[in-house]
A and B are shown apart, each in its own frame.
Chain A
């Protein structure tokens, strides 16, 4: 029955063009805000989620509050590797540098190529890898970093803050934020440049199969407690959380904003649909006289409000997709997923149904004689 009424329903959507366009625009803006906020939240929490999926541990210097200032003797790499319950360990020296006129912050990681590749399970084509291993001045750059900086394979990069000059021999393809946005150089090269020979920032540890990471972390710290430099070992997720901790309160605030946007849109849509139903009271009476059932009338009103909300949502999602797409190259983790689209469409259906519910019930309840205002 509803399908047979589709032409009538479609014309009803555009009955009051200005009101419909304003309603659609309101929903579109709200869905844009909701989707863009969702993507921003996802982008902010991306490092935590990304590394949270791995079971790798990071062993760093205990007394340092700033993880970047941590220093461990290079010998710790082998000491940790020999512990029971450890499948592999590799020492990394990190450095932060600011590049270019825009002052872009980049992370440089000095690694022992083969050990790092094994522990971190780095995926890269063999030609680029061979070039990296063979040349002490070679570097591998994450594909996001390359796009952001406008680098190409073969470029020579001067990182004056670290006293480093490297040649990019390959791009690290998509496989995790910590690799895609960073610059990998040979550890020895960075150690010499930073005058930090035989020093590490941290040791990356892969627990043996079946070994709980938290248990291993405690065992490593116990073992190292008597060493000249005590250590703190945590999962990569905890490490990432420590880095983005300050953002989390802001993320909660954004989530509240998102639901306020939904509420305002519901009220706006409800008001527009209620006005539309009020304007048509007499017509609804006539429809009832023609034999339209209360269910059919309320369904038409609900479909009308849901239709407007869905058109708005599609516009809002398209706008958000465009906005996100134009910044995604630079901002890791910022993307419009199928889940975001589905959630936005579900919100639009909710807005349509919630906004149309009261007017639909009112229209269904109207007594035809009262609606027609027939006075005898």
Chain B
């Protein structure tokens, strides 16, 4: 692991208004993540996990505090710079896969590569490598409708990985899958961190999935309660 954290958040605050009610999913959160770490984010609904992922992934900005990702301050980036950041530094994996139904698996993976200054042959290499890593080397010409849910999520992971980002962000990637397929998906994400040096952040409600991470961050009302619930469990037991 490098000494400079890939993610460094200080006193992050994010507030929403729902009618007259103010919701504060992030309330002074501090966090450091090292390159190559595999982190699981857990906590009840509304505790701020996904909001943190959106900010770290450049989909949203904090109201106050700072969030440095790969050396860039998310809060100070403009719209265009955020788009460039998302295209080159981050890969997203969603609960509902969000593959483009009219494109084949390979074309889906190729789509974000077209935003980068890469030659056609280089893009083809990247697509082939990504498909190989997720174990779908022979399914590149299949449409999403011809794939199982687990395979669709593997394609989504390959799409997130293909651009060679620093960070891979997965928001409940196993939420729509059965338990065994979910385990396989988490194994693939874990592999990206351990074998390919990617920093992987996943939100999950499933403790057994979170167990595979290097660290678990437990969220409660917009803050981290403890860095590792396993440690907290041991403290509570004693």
Contact = CB atoms under 8 A, between A and B. Distances in A.
A11 B103 contact: yes
Interface stretch (A35-43, A188-196, A323-331, A368-376): A368-376
Interface of B: 25, 45-51, 54, 57, 59-60, 79-80, 83-88, 92, 94, 96, 98, 100-103, 107, 111-112, 114-115, 159, 171
A8 interface: yes
Contact of A286 (B94, B102, B114): B94
A293 B85 CA distance: 11
A369 B59 contact: yes
Interface residues of A, number: 26
Contacts of A283: 98, 100
Interface of A is mostly: helix
Given A11-B102, A282-B98, A283-B100, A293 B83 contact: yes
A15 B57 CA distance: 29
A277 to B, nearest CB: 14
The 4 A-B residue pairs with the shortest CB-CB distance, nearest first, are A291-B87, A376-B50, A286-B98, A291-B86
Contacts of B49: 376
Contacts, number: 75
B31 to A, nearest CB: 16
Interface string A165-176: 000000000000
A290 B112 contact: yes
B95 to A, nearest CB: 8
Contacts of A12: 102
24 contacts: A11-B103, A12-B102, A15-B101, A282-B98, A283-B98, A285-B98, A286-B92, A288-B83, A289-B59, A289-B86, A289-B92, A290-B159, A291-B84, A291-B112, A292-B83, A293-B79, A293-B80, A369-B54, A374-B50, A374-B171, A375-B50, A376-B47, A376-B50, A376-B51
A148 B59 CA distance: 70
Contacts of B101: 15
A375 B59 CA distance: 14
A7 B48 CA distance: 38
A294 B79 contact: yes
Nearest to A294: B79
Contacts of A291: 83-88, 112, 115
A228 B51 CA distance: 102
Given A7-B107, A294-B79, A376 B88 contact: no
Interface in A15-39: 15
B12 to A, nearest CB: 14
B127 to A, nearest CB: 13
A293 to B, nearest CB: 4
B78 to A, nearest CB: 11
Interface string A109-122: 00000000000000
Interface in A328-376: 368-369, 372, 374-376
B51 A290 contact: no
A7 B171 CA distance: 29
Contact of A374 (B54, B85, B111, B115): B54
Nearest to A293: B83
Nearest to B169: A289
A368 B169 CA distance: 15
A4 interface: yes
Contacts of B80: 293
A1 interface: yes
A5 interface: yes
Contacts of B111: 8, 290
A376 B25 contact: yes
Contacts of B25: 376
Contacts of B79: 293-294
- Interface centre among B50, B83, B85, by most chain A C-beta atoms within 10 angstroms, is B83
A4 B79 CA distance: 22
A293 B83 CA distance: 6
B60 A369 contact: yes
Nearest to A368: B59
Nearest to B98: A286
Given A1-B115, A5-B114, A372-B94, A290 B86 contact: yes
